Structure 1
Amino acid sequence: MTAPIDGTCDPRFAPVRDAFAANFTERGEPGGAIALMVDGRLVCDLWGGWRDAAREKPWARETLVNFFSVGKAFTSLVALRLVERGALDLDAPAHRLWPEFGAHGKEAITLRHMLSHQAGLPAIRTDLPDGAMFNWSAMTAALAATPPWWEPGTAHGYHVNTFGYLVGELVRRASGRTVGQLLRDEVAGPLGADVHIGLPSTEHPRAAEFLWPSVLPERPEGDLPDGILMKWNTYWNPPGISGAGWVNSAEWRAAEIPSTNGHGTARGIARVYSALAAGGSIGGIDILSADMLAAAVEEQSFGPDRVLERESRFALGFQLPQAERPLGPNAQAFGHFGAGGSLGFCDPAARVAFGYVTNDMGPRWQNPRNKALLAAIYESLGG
């Protein structure tokens, strides 16, 4: 059955529409959506395919989906807003706000270390039961009790699932509110952006089924060397922390797991990035000051990643372009990818903001679907 595609696209951006259509016909896309904004104007708003595994429910304009690590950037925005108002300090020891955290070699860890994946805490060492990721206090207590896997500040490794608990606990202690509440009240709400960390139950009927692989890896037997244990626990301690077995459940959608379970539409993602592309403010709505935004996108970490075992490059919570994974041709671009290939980014030089969501666990690193979309955007722009 041919995947239905709907929406609008400025004729200038016909290559983007063609690339999106080819994702379904040539690159195995089951369902997804894209939104492209230029100078704050929505020039491409397309959705297509199916929102369920049975391919009976077409993707609709308001369908939203789990966009995984795209939410790390939104978590960072919330924290950076608190830095801007003086409630958080990038370089103060985290234990000043979170006393229990200042033990086991973590006395010098700062918010900057956390945002740039240098904290040395990509995984919890003590085994936790499946479902523990829904218990915020249990997760933060376990992190407070975990010694760093490397000396903080001396290396970086992608904090795949712990990032949101670390940053989120400082946000909670500094503001009295959660990441999801602040995102809703101070960013998504004012912008009218359909993005959520902690999806209200009233919105669950709009959520697409995410097609998680049915075959999951088995834990290596015996006592694991430290490096192997760290990588395993990063993704699988507790067992469902990456979403396995839970991703389409009401519990998962409603919870706040800021690294991993953000939900939204492509249009919502692009709307947030449209403010960042414009210097932190759009339509009279201030998201970050120009100075804070400039600091937020300065490189903090670049080189061998201890978790990913390849190079990675981070600013303060945002991913920065690198040769193996560019965000178009301009060095000023920044954003964040998510599992399955979802993406939110902006390119201030080109005045572009973009969101892409999918309900399929495609390639995480070199994803042909988002690569084709990125190429088509800049083809349409003429460079």
Structure 2
Amino acid sequence: MSDVNGHCDPRFARVHDALAASIAAGKEVGASLYVNIDGEDVIDVWGGWRDKEHSAPWSEKTVVNVFSATKTVTSLAVLMLADRGQIDLFAPVSRYWPEFAQNGKEKAEVRHLISHTVGLPAWEPPFSLAAAMDVEAATARLASQAPWWEPGTRGSYHASSFGHLNGELVRRVTGRSLSQFIAEEIVKPLDADFYLGLSDADFDKVATVYPAEEEGRPVAATAPSSASSEDDLAVERAISARTRLGSFSGQKRDPLALFNSPEWRRAEFGGSSGHANARGLGRIMTALSHDGMSRGVKLLSPETISLIFREQFRGVDSYYMKPVRWGIGYALAPLEKKERGPLPFMRPGKRTCYWYGTGGSLSIADVERRITFTYAMNQCQSGRHSLNGLYYDTFYDCL
């Protein structure tokens, strides 16, 4: 069985063993897992390799692209500004970003912006990754765009646009870029391994990320062929197709080349280009599950944490065509029973918020039980091959 380094409380030895077995079997290349309960690190382990050639071991400081788990840190940044009174979550976005009040978005509120309900799930197609890399121009384009629905009335995951929208909000309020705010106000105080925009000097810490086999050849989105009045989800299907055509997250490309490129590693997309390990994400998310505190640093008040659980949307999310509950800044766990949502293994919880990244990275705060659970890996998985649910279930079965 493969060596796994770090610390694991004996109560959760089965989690350690599950990770070790996955690495030994070649299901994982390299990975890290972290769990904090009530301020105590009970699991902080890592193992495997940074590459399939086994030329460099996955070390304590290895980081990897965690894709959309980046959004959990971006949302925290916005919530911190709300906690400090610099942002009112229920105020119009245009109070802080005047140009946003165009084409029917005058009443769109900050809470809509971080809850995937603002109506800008993508750019009007056609759109490209190259266009997204020009962050200033791409963001201005979103500000001038008409919403695809009345803000606050529908939920649809803002896969590619989330980082541009909320990064600009942070910049308008603080005068600092989102990456600068996160580095100075979150990462440095918590000594967390999280980077939004890697410097070339940090490239030697990064694990090569490998796409899941099913993701090697993305299928181009197409409009539904028979959206009729008899199709109860016709509107959702149309939004889903339109979103993929206007997102850099849904386009054909070579993911192995793209997500390991210097350009992607340097990108400061607050929705997708963050690089971290499980401990880095975990130290950040512990602020949500531990009364706003992590490592003795106060980031939020309990009152602001409670706002996360104000449900903004419940129903079929148009991007996923699956049920999602959106709170303020995070998805919320199902209330009564498991659902066939983005993470079907997610157990019910009245005060559990989460999000995840392409391929399996996890960032979960179980506030009711004061648990933080995070996971980062470099071999992406999908569908029945996903390992994140295995580790999650193994941990909760140990409680």
Q: Same fold (TM over 0.5)?
A: yes
Does residue 247 in structure 1 map to residue 259 in structure 2?
Answer: yes
Mapping for residues 1-383 of structure 1, pairs under 5 Å: 3-25=2-24, 28-212=27-211, 213-218=215-220, 220=222, 227=239, 229-236=241-248, 239=251, 245-322=257-334, 323-324=338-339, 325=344, 327-328=346-347, 330-363=349-382, 368-381=386-399
Aligned to 2:231: none
Residue 77 of structure 1: how far off its partner (Å): 0.9
**How big is each residue's C-alpha offset from its partner over 1:60-102, in whole Å with a ceiling of 9 and x where there is no partner?**
1111001111111110111111112222221222223222221
The answer to whether the 8 A contact 2:4-2:16 is kept is no
The answer to whether the 8 A contact 1:270-1:344 is kept is yes
Unaligned runs of 5+ in 1: none
Which amino acid letter does the alignment assign opposite residue 206 of structure 2? A
Tell me the distance in 2 between the aligned counterparts of 1:232 and 1:242.
16
Tell me the distance in 1 between the aligned counterparts of 2:59 and 2:220.
36
Which amino acid letter does the alignment assign opposite residue 136 of structure 1? V
TM-score (norm 2): 0.87
Which amino acid letter does the alignment assign opposite residue 378 of structure 1? Y
Tell me the distance in 1 between the aligned counterparts of 2:76 and 2:398.
29
| Bigger Cα displacement from structure 2, 27-36 vs 116-125 | 27-36
SS of corresponding position for 2:359: helix
Tell me the distance in 2 between the aligned counterparts of 1:237 and 1:65.
18
The answer to whether the 8 A contact 1:162-1:259 is kept is yes
The number of equivalent residue pairs is 379
Tell me the distance in 2 between the aligned counterparts of 1:197 and 1:90.
24
Residue 334 of structure 1: how far off its partner (Å): 1.7
Residue 245 of structure 1: how far off its partner (Å): 4.5
Residue 310 of structure 1: how far off its partner (Å): 0.9
SS of corresponding position for 2:258: coil
Tell me the distance in 1 between the aligned counterparts of 2:220 and 2:327.
33
Tell me the distance in 2 between the aligned counterparts of 1:238 and 1:373.
28
Q: Percent identity?
A: 36
Tell me the distance in 1 between the aligned counterparts of 2:396 and 2:125.
47
SS of corresponding position for 2:35: strand
Closer/same/farther in 2, CA of residues 179 and 123 from structure 1, 3 Å limit: same
CA RMSD of aligned residues (A): 2.7
Tell me the distance in 1 between the aligned counterparts of 2:330 and 2:125.
29
The answer to whether the 8 A contact 1:117-1:157 is kept is yes
